Amino acid sequence: MHKLSISLFAAIAIILTIALNCEYRFIGGTPLYQQARDNRVDKAILKSVVWATDEEIRRLAEIIEKKYGSQIEQISRKYYACPEDIKAIAIVESLTDENAESSAGAVGLMGVKRETGKEMGFDDVEGPINNLKAGTKYYKMLLKKFKDRELALAAYNLGPGEVGNRLNNGFDPETMDYIWKIRRVARFII
């Protein structure tokens, strides 16, 4: 059953990717970023599927909702951000561990670097509420800068400078497993 749900999700994700790419061709629009020309998108989808089972994601979504749902709703309203995105970022960044710390020095629920927290006006990002506030404010800033949800999410993960550099070289955020993880988690957000 587990392999079936992973295969089903991967198949749906691939079909959606193809459908969205075809839509641009049929209506004559140009995407904001170059489309992937190889199997990088498929690899990113596969990594996101292997990352966690549906049951694990559902459990994490319930934890984040129970512990921080009302605070995330309130913080999201303050910064005009989508609470579902904030919950998904917190799950992907920390697996709901308030004490998480990455090798790059990002801490807390939303994986905020201390320097970024200070830039957002928060001296202490170790506490979960300040971490949520700093991360939400930073994400909203990235949305304003890039005017595209996937690019803002990519910048949240890679940094805005890195995304800017990659855009000059044909970057497609669809190739990032981080984007697919966020999309997958968002399906389970309450």
Give the residue numbers marked as catalytic: 93
Helices (H) and strands (E) in the chain, counts: 9, 2
**Tokens at residue 38, please?**
């190889």
Cβ(85)–Cβ(187) below 8 Å = no
Determine the Cα angle at 43 with ends 38 and 47, to 5°.
165
| Helix (H), strand (E) at residue 43 | helix 40-51
Q: How far apart are CA 129 and CA 78, in angstroms?
A: 13
Neighbouring C-alpha atoms within 13 Å toward the C-beta of 94:
26
Distance CA(151)–CA(86), nearest Å, equals 15
